[in-house]
Amino acid sequence: MLFLSFVHHYLRWHYFRAWSELFHVWLNLLWFTIHFFSIPQLMRTWFSPWKRIVEERGNKWNLEDLAGFIIIGLISRLLGFIMRTVIIMIGLVCLFLVVSSGLLFFVFWFGAPFVIIALLGVGITLLTA
């Protein structure tokens, strides 16, 4: 009778309380991954200059200063776009890995007691055979 009580309490913990706590841990991992790579902030500033590197434009109309201002601005924005795209892609790959590994873990967590019972049954039949 004590064994059945233990099994009942374990299964109740395994499928209700632990399931909820594991889900919250998974949500925290998702939040961490999104904020570690700063995905929302990088998407908002996708075309901003890299490291705010810009050339100051002088007040006078000098063609050389204007060309330097435009070229350095374009190069800095292009570099910022490339670097932010790479970081966003790495972040999305890591986010995909966290989501897929979390789903695989929940499938494993759901089936683990059945696998334990099946392996116990196979072990007993191998011992008696």
Written as tens digits, the pLDDT of the chain (129 aa) is 788 888 889 889 988 999 999 999 999 999 999 999 999 999 998 888 877 777 777 667 778 878 888 888 899 889 999 999 999 999 999 999 999 999 999 999 999 999 999 999 999 999 998
Residue 80: CB atoms within 10 Å? 20
Instruction: Please state the pTM of the whole predicted model.
Output: 0.79
Query: CA 105: distance to chain centroid?
Result: 15
Cα four-point dihedral sign 29, 35, 36, 38: positive
Phi, psi of 58, deg, nearest 5: -75, 165
Q: What is the pLDDT of residue 3?
A: 80
Give residue 36's pLDDT.
96
Q: Are 18 and 106 in contact (CB under 8 A)?
A: no
Domain boundaries, the chain: 2-128
